[in-house]
């Protein structure tokens, strides 16, 4: 986490992790994908996503006859985003990510996170890898002069609290996406943008299958790009939708390799999600006594 531009990216926060084709990352839980990596075809019957609101009557992941295959997941993503905006004020979670930057696949990073939708606010505390453990980041929309507030660990901590532009060089070092793209709501929004960018292209297929992520029953939306083209960097992408919560909790994409392989580009998993926990301004304040911020030197 973040979702993540399926058109020109290599989809956030979502805000990549370490689940590459069967490898199960520690701390996230078992991944069980029915037909996901075996080449099995999509299920014959449409898969019904659990509906948390009677108004979400069209959240059936099944393309209508003659329509572009991306339209069905776009409809679901739009309904999911509207539902979250209306019913999810905030949440806490654990995020596992892994990303390929400049051709190099980075190590898995794990962080505890708090997210509030209005105003958009993010708190993250890294727990892995060890060299990052304890690092904290806070971002609040339209606050702190638009900057994120971060502090490092070890020798980095001597710098105190750093005020960084979310899209600046230092904040983006080691990241594909800025903190402003973080979270499951942005993940759903990115899926919509993916469709808008690629709706005129005829090279896409979409499949659906059941999956399990960290003990959660999910539906996986599999987007396949059948033609290699410069404006679409991925050849396959998976978006995992939690059946009970009706929100995306995992995204992973693979690119075009040089020797017929399909290297992992990025992946993000949101686990241990707790919705509407009542986060307050203090949860996004460096003066919170539970946090380890200190004055800049």
Of 55-59, 68-72, 208-212, 229-233, the poorest mean pLDDT is in 55-59
Query: Measured between alpha carbons, how far is 294 from 104 in angstroms, rounded to an integer?
Result: 33
Q: Give Dmax over CA atoms of the chain in angstroms.
A: 63
CATH code given to domain 20-284:
2.50.20.10
Average pLDDT, the chain: 80
Q: What is the pTM of this model?
A: 0.79
Token pair, residue 274, equals 């707790």
Tell me the per-residue pLDDT of 142-158, one tens digit each, with 9 for 90 and over.
999 999 999 999 888 88
pLDDT at residue 159, rounded to an integer? 86
Q: 177-198: per-residue pLDDT in tens?
A: 999 999 999 989 988 887 888 8
CA–CA separation, 118 vs 39, rounded Å? Answer: 42
Per-residue pLDDT, averaged over 8-35, amounts to 31
Domain spans of the chain? 20-284
């Amino acid at each position: 986490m973040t979702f993540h531009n399926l058109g020109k990216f290599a989809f956030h926060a979502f805000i990549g992790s370490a689940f590459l084709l069967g490898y199960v990352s520690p701390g996230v839980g078992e991944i069980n994908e029915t037909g996901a990596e075996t080449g099995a075809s999509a299920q014959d019957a449409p898969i019904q996503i659990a509906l948390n609101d009677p108004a979400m009557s069209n959240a059936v992941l099944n393309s209508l006859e003659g329509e572009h295959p991306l339209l069905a997941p776009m409809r679901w993503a739009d309904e999911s985003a509207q539902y979250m905006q209306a019913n999810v004020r905030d949440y806490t979670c654990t995020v596992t990510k892994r990303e390929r930057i400049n051709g190099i696949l980075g190590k898995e990073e794990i962080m505890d996170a708090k997210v509030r939708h209005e105003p958009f606010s993010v708190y993250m505390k890294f727990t892995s890898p060890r060299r990052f453990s304890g690092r904290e980041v806070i971002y609040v929309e339209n606050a702190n002069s638009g900057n994120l507030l971060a502090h490092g660990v070890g020798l980095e901590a001597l710098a105190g609290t750093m005020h960084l532009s979310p899209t600046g060089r230092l904040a983006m070092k080691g990241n594909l996406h800025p903190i402003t793209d973080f979270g499951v709501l942005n993940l759903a929004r990115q899926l919509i943008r993916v469709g808008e960018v690629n709706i005129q292209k005829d090279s896409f297929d979409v499949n659906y299958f059941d999956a399990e992520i960290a003990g959660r029953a999910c539906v996986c939306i599999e987007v396949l790009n059948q033609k290699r083209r410069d404006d679409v960097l991925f050849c396959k992408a998976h978006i995992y939708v939690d059946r009970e919560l009706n929100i995306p909790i995992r995204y992973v994409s693979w690119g075009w390799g040089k020797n017929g392989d399909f290297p992992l580009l990025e992946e993000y998993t949101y686990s241990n999600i707790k919705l509407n926990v009542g986060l307050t301004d203090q949860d996004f304040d460096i003066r919170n006594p539970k946090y380890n911020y200190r004055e800049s030197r």
